Structure formats: structure tokens, C-alpha cells
Structure 1
Amino acid sequence: MRPILAVLLLAVALVVPVQRASAEKVGAAFNHPGVLVSRAQLDHVKANLGAEPWKPAWAALRASSFASLSYTPKPRANVECGPSSNPNNGCSDERNDAMAAYTHALQWYLTGDDRHAKKAVQIMDAWSAVITEHTGHNARLQTGWAGASFSRAAELIKHTYTGWANAGRFAGKLRTVYLPIVIAGSPNTNGNWELIMTDAAIGIAVHLDDRAAFDRAVTTWRGRLAAYVYLTTDGSLPKQAPGSRYDTRDELIGYWYGQSTFVNGLAQETCRDFGHTGWGIAAAVHVAETARHQGLDLYAEGKDRLRHAMGFHAGLQLGEPVPSWLCGGSVKPGLGPTFEVGFNALRNRMGIGMARTQRLVEQGRPAGVSHFLGWETLTHANNPA
């Protein structure tokens, strides 16, 4: 009996800690507000609104049409978005309304004027009352764009303002209309799609306190970032995105727009244009920033890809000669306001030298808005929090 009892006790000793660790992981509380921005970050901004570089960034936000107290939302039940948002049946309206909600949420926190909180609530309530679906070719990307901004707005209002009676209804729409689309990923489209969708997915997961969705978004990020930005340690070819049908040499080169020479920092869409590439890099950084607020350091995992990607494209955007082996000797610049969050994380927090990225970021200040990018000089420039 004693040997059997010993075996049983050993089995219990081995099983119980595993069960406890699993329960602690699933039940671990999320930090709120914690989607792209944290309370500590915004408190730092609030204390420095009269100083550089926040002062002009704050002035730009306040002067924007998104910041107006007379802003009127334009919700609809079905947002139909074709290729390049053509047809555009509610696509621009939804993106603009999501950005306006986030803009007013920021104003509420930074000023304490509850009229801005009420305006953000009005916008989100208008959409949660009617939205049921996204359709058309660009439906997944549109859901990512809008879901990213809406989740930031909802998170900030819910956790800093007490007057949102319909917060649960909006959360329900995030769960049923947005999350199922963005969490599913998009392995066979250009990488910026899946990264933007993952940006929305992790933001929604945090807002909903959904640990399973959070973990799934992180898994998608790990696979897609490695397949979006090349490092020489990857081997002679870029990594295949998990679930992607592009797996042979010819297919991968075609997927990378005919590029067959690979160097540190090259991205899957570099030879397409820098606009979409910048979106992909920015979305990858957003995921890492939100994860950081939740105690998960994805920057430690992705810093080499992110720093090389930003530096490589920043140099070319600044006018460095395009090598003949790159994209047939010609690229399409136009990065937009994409690197502020990543630069702050890697250069200011982690101390990584990023001279070209710094020049580009400082030239582009204050960063404004673009689809799912909003006011990032204000929220993240020189921000140690």
C-alpha cells in the first residue's frame, strides 16, 4: 500500500501546481485603462501640455474637426467596403466616428471637461444601437481600423468616467460584431491587414477582459511579425505567415512583390509602397504597446525586427539612395505618422540607437490622424510611462 500511496501523492504534487498556474494565468486581471495608452502615460502628458513636443500636438488635436463638441456621428447597420473602400457605404464614416470618439476620450481625460466624455459616449452609443455587420472586400480591414480606435475610446471612457449607461451594449457589439472578424486573422492578404486586425483584437480583448482572445492575438502577432519583417537570421527566404498558402520560394518572392534580395528590416510590402508598410509596422508596435500595459513584454521579443524595419524605411523616406537590387531601384515613399510609438518604446525606454528613425519622427511632428493612427506625438512622444 505504501508504494501505491507514494505514487498517488507524487501525482497530486505534480498535478496541483500545474492547475494552479493555469488558473492564475486565466484569471489574471487586466490593467485598465490599458489599450495603447495607460493612465500613467496620460498623466505624464497632462503634466506637460505646455511644453514641447506636446504643446503643438495638443493644439493640433484641439483644432481638429474630430475634437469639436458639435461633431455628429453617422452610424449604420451594415458598413459595406469594397476594394480601396469603393463602394464606401459607411466606411469613412465609421473610421471617422471611431477616431472622434477616441479624440474626445483623450480630451476628457486631459481637461476634465465632461462634455467631451459625453460626446465620446454619444458617438459610441449611436453605433452600438445599430451596427450589425461589415461586408465587402475590405470588411476585415475596415473592422480592424474601426475596432482599433473604438476599443481605445471605450477603454478610456469606461475606466475614467462614470456616466456611460450603455457601456455594456457597446462592449457587446465589440464582442459580436468586431472581435470574431479580427481575431480570425488574415494569413493570405498583405501583412498590414492581419497586423491591423490584431491591433484591434488585442484592444478589444483587454476591454472585454477576455484572456483567451488576448492570448490568441499575441500568438497571431508572433507569427505575423516574423513573417512581415525580415532578419538575416531567418535564412535565405522570409518566414511563411502561419496558415498562409505562400510557402514555396517563388510564391514567397511573389508575395514580397518580386523582391528576391533580403536584408534586415525589409518588409513584405516594402516594394508595394511605404504607406501600407508603415501601417503594418505601426500596428505591430501598437500590439506590443498594449501588451506592455498588461505586463507582457513583446518588445523584448520583437525589438530587432521593429528597430531594423523602422530604420530601413526611415532612411529611404529621408532620401537615401535606393539600391538597384531593391524594388527594381525605385520605391514609393509616404510613411505618414507611423513610428512615434515604436521610437519611444525602443529608443527612449530601451536605449536602442535609432538616428534615422529619430530624424524622421521629429520631422513629422506633431503626428495627426490616419485611419487607425491618432495623436501619437501627444500620447507617446518622450513618454517614459
Structure 2
Amino acid sequence: MSRTSPHRRPRWTPEPSRRGLLKAAGGLTAALAAGTSAAALARDEAGAAPAAFTHPGMLHAYGELNRAKVRVAAGDDPWLSGWNRLTANAHSAATWTPRPQATVVRGGTGQNYTLLYNDVHAAYQNALRWKIAGTAANGDCAVRILNAWSSTLTEVTGNADRYLAAGIYGYQFANAAELMRGHAGFDLDRFKEMMLNVFYPLNNRFLNEHNDACITNYWANWDLCTMNSILAIGILCDDAAKYDQAVDYFKNGAGNGSLRHAVPFLHEVDGHTLGQWQESGRDQGHTVMGMGLMGAFCETAWSQGDDLYGHDDNRFMKAAQYVARYNLGQDVPFTTYTWGTGQNCAQRSQTVVSAASRGQARPVWDTLWYHYGRRRGLDVPYIRAMAESVRPEGGGGDYGPNSGGFDQLGFGTLMYAK
């Protein structure tokens, strides 16, 4: 059913449901304390599909932004320690000079996509500093970066990796723009045109065609970054069809980014149900990247009143517990994973969990801990321990100069601590 339908869109309801949880906690006051916007609560209470999107409403809704602002001003930890990581990052400097390109290439000859991801993270980090501290210079810098790219970029290209660029930097760019919505001088309409004409066509093509390969050929992260970009573009552009496209794929898609394909097996270990992640037999760097991408997807939907964190009996939570446990140095069970590759779906199998990049630090865990452990009050010891081991989280530029260090926007300690 369409998001714009006059009837309530059916959704899977976890136990307890988010709506029930908010009612039990005391209605609007508790909802706002949990990081839920008044608009989202009113939508749930009315029992109808939304007539409009909540803004800001991607990785950071009003509740998260206001809490960070108040806590940093008061000098409270862990928010202050997260803020200090942000202000120490060179990308957050108001003196950042953008380097926009008409054509961005990722994969093959002529690669220049490092220019894009560095500028994207600079725009986002400056936007955060403006939102939290109100410093005009940071807001002006974020606008300068966003406007420079929207007036210049016409194409994202390269080999198959162009789809990764369109997905990862698409959703990240949209998040920076969402934070700057309404700022004087920001050409939001032109930025929307760039997202719709440059990023979305690649996102849509990949999700529908998978680069003309077998539907299972590409790892979960390829779908997930694409889904994130479509979801974020839908919100940025108030386009319900695109939002629904991404959410429907999360629930029902045939590729590895949909929830049941990303978490194909469940295991019982020490009293906890753990979910084996689709890339666990590949390496832990990409596996943890998956935690960040699916976490970003669920958090973005949560800002719009949709609980995908809890979908299918908290299946994503079980996967995050599995990944966290293994990267903390503990054993996990592994069911042989077999999938189709190439254009003819030739079968390949993995028989053991991969130790490659085990324990790699990425800024993805506080988003998950503060949702499952604090918002929901669930028993997630491995997620909690993993979050504590990498706190306070930084962002792009804090985890090396290569693209992997820019796969997540980061700063979860600053933005999600409760």
C-alpha cells in the first residue's frame, strides 16, 4: 500500500510495538524524550498514513539535535567527548574549501571520488556544528559546499563501483542537505535536482537490475547503500514513492540487502538469539559496514515514524549481536552460506566465519546501542560492549584516508547518547 494512501499502511508490529511503547511511557512527553517527533506521534495516533514528511527527519530528527545541543552546552559527557571529536576533525573546519567536479569516477581509470567523499563529510560535519553550536561560519561553510556541488556535478560514473558511490555518497549528501534545509543561501531546489537526476537514476537502476548480474551476486552492502540513498532522497524531496520503494525492498526485496537475505540464519548461543550476517564469511570490515548501513536505514525510517529496527522480531538486532560478539573476540556458530554469482548464478559457498579485519573499529555501534539498549531497554550485551570499546565515536577523517573510513557519517556518541 502506498505511503500516500488514505488508509493506514500495514506494517509489522514488534512486541511491544513502538506505538504501544510510547503510550505506555506516557504519550507525547515520553515520545519526545525517546527521540520521536510530535508529527510522527500524531501520525501514529491518527492511524493514518502521513500526509507529509517530518523535517529534519533522516539520521537526526529534532529530538536528537536538541538533546546534543543542550548536553554539549552543559558540558555533559559522553556528549561533550563526542563533540570534542567533531571539532577536532579537520573536515568540520569552517575554512574547508570544496572541490566540486562535473564528473565523479569510482572504479576504473580516472578515479577522483575521494574529492566527493571528503567534501560530503565536510558538509555534514559543518552542518552538525552549526545545528549544535549555532556557529554561523560553519553553517555558511556547509551551504558553500552543497551549493558548489549542486551547481557542478552532472555525472557519477566508473565501473560497477559507481553504484557504491551513488549509494554511499548519495545518502550522506542528502543527510547534510536535510540539516541545512531552510538556511539562508542554500539552494535546496537545485540540490534536489542533483539528487534526483544524478544519484537516484543509478540507485534505481542498481536495485532493479543489479548491474545485469545474478540477483545474489552483490553483497548486502551494495543493496543497503542504494536503499539508504533512495530512502534519504525520498525524504529530502518529499517523494513518498521513493520512500516506499526503499522500505518495501528492506522488507521484501530479492537482493541481499533485504532483511531476510542480509540475515539468513539464526543461532541460539548462551541464552541469546544471534543472526548470522550475509557478509560474515567474507570479512569483518564489510560486515561491520553492514551494521552501519542497516543501522542508518532503520534510524532514518524511525525519524519518520516507521520501526524497521524491530521488524521481523528484531532480526537486525540479532545480527548486530552476532557481529559484535565475534568482533569482541568470542566464538559464533556459522551455517554454510551458498549464493549465486556472475550472470549465470554460478554457486559459491562459505563454510566458516572470516577473521579478516576482525575487531576493526568503525563508528556504527552507538546508534545501535542507544536504540536497542536505551530506547527499547532490550538485553543486548554484545552490542553494548562493542559500543563501549570504540566510544567516543568520530567520523570521516578519523578512521584513515581511504574510502572505508568514510563509509559512515559517524558521531553516534554525540548524536544518540541518552
TM range (shorter): 0.7 to 0.9
- In the TM superposition, residue 89 of structure 1 has moved relative to its aligned partner by 2.3
Contact 1:73 1:123 in 2 (8 A): yes
Secondary structure of residue in 2 paired with 1:34: coil
Aligned match of 1:336: 362
Aligned match of 1:189: 218
- 1:353 is the counterpart of 2:379: yes
Alpha-carbon separation, structure 2, partners of 1:380 and 1:359: 19
- In the TM superposition, residue 277 of structure 1 has moved relative to its aligned partner by 1.2
- 1:319 is the counterpart of 2:319: no
CA displacement 1:301-339 (0-9 Å, x = unmatched) = 155222211111111111114668785465221252222
Alpha-carbon separation, structure 1, partners of 2:50 and 2:416: 33
Change (3 A) 1:122 1:272: same
Change (3 A) 1:152 1:325: closer
Which of the numbers 299, 305, 309 marks the counterpart of 1:289?
A: 299
Secondary structure of residue in 2 paired with 1:73: coil
- 1:221 is the counterpart of 2:250: yes
CA displacement 1:19-45 (0-9 Å, x = unmatched) = 743899787110000011011111001
Aligned match of 1:116: 138
Aligned match of 2:283: 273
Q: Equivalences for 1:14-163 in 2 at 5 Å?
A: 20-21=6-7, 28-49=51-72, 50-82=75-107, 87=109, 89-137=111-159, 138-159=161-182, 161=183, 163=184
Secondary structure of residue in 2 paired with 1:79: strand
Alpha-carbon separation, structure 1, partners of 2:283 and 2:177: 32
Alpha-carbon separation, structure 2, partners of 1:203 and 1:107: 21
Alpha-carbon separation, structure 2, partners of 1:152 and 1:19: 26
Contact 1:53 1:381 in 2 (8 A): no
Secondary structure of residue in 1 paired with 2:297: helix
Aligned match of 1:200: 229
- In the TM superposition, residue 294 of structure 1 has moved relative to its aligned partner by 1.0
CA displacement 1:174-233 (0-9 Å, x = unmatched) = 111111222342443111111011112111110100000000010111231210112449
- In the TM superposition, residue 106 of structure 1 has moved relative to its aligned partner by 0.5
Amino acid at match of 1:21: H
- In the TM superposition, residue 156 of structure 1 has moved relative to its aligned partner by 0.8
- In the TM superposition, residue 92 of structure 1 has moved relative to its aligned partner by 1.2
Alpha-carbon separation, structure 1, partners of 2:235 and 2:354: 41
Alpha-carbon separation, structure 2, partners of 1:308 and 1:68: 38
Contact 2:105 2:157 in 1 (8 A): yes
Aligned match of 1:377: 412
Change (3 A) 1:95 1:330: closer
Q: Between Structure 1 and Structure 2, how many residues are aligned? A: 332
Alpha-carbon separation, structure 2, partners of 1:119 and 1:35: 21
Change (3 A) 1:87 1:316: farther
Contact 2:266 2:275 in 1 (8 A): no
CA displacement 1:149-172 (0-9 Å, x = unmatched) = 11111001014x2x1342211111
Aligned match of 1:179: 200
Change (3 A) 1:271 1:127: same
User: Unpaired segments of 5 or more residues in structure 2?
Assistant: 10-46, 268-272, 337-350, 396-404
Which of the numbers 176, 185, 188 marks the counterpart of 1:164?
A: 185
Alpha-carbon separation, structure 2, partners of 1:338 and 1:220: 22
Contact 2:224 2:294 in 1 (8 A): yes
Alpha-carbon separation, structure 1, partners of 2:298 and 2:185: 29
Contact 1:46 1:110 in 2 (8 A): yes
Alpha-carbon separation, structure 2, partners of 1:123 and 1:88: 23
RMSD, aligned α-carbons: 2.5
Contact 2:79 2:415 in 1 (8 A): no
CA displacement 1:218-265 (0-9 Å, x = unmatched) = 0111231210112449xxxxxxxxxxxxxxxxxxxxxxxxxxxxx941
Alpha-carbon separation, structure 2, partners of 1:329 and 1:181: 32
Amino acid at match of 2:53: F
Alpha-carbon separation, structure 2, partners of 1:26 and 1:352: 28
Contact 2:266 2:276 in 1 (8 A): no
Amino acid at match of 2:264: Y
Change (3 A) 1:191 1:335: farther
Change (3 A) 1:55 1:302: farther
Task: State which structure, 1 or 2, has the greater radius of gyration over its C-alpha atoms.
Answer: 1
Relative to the length of structure 1, the TM-score reads 0.80
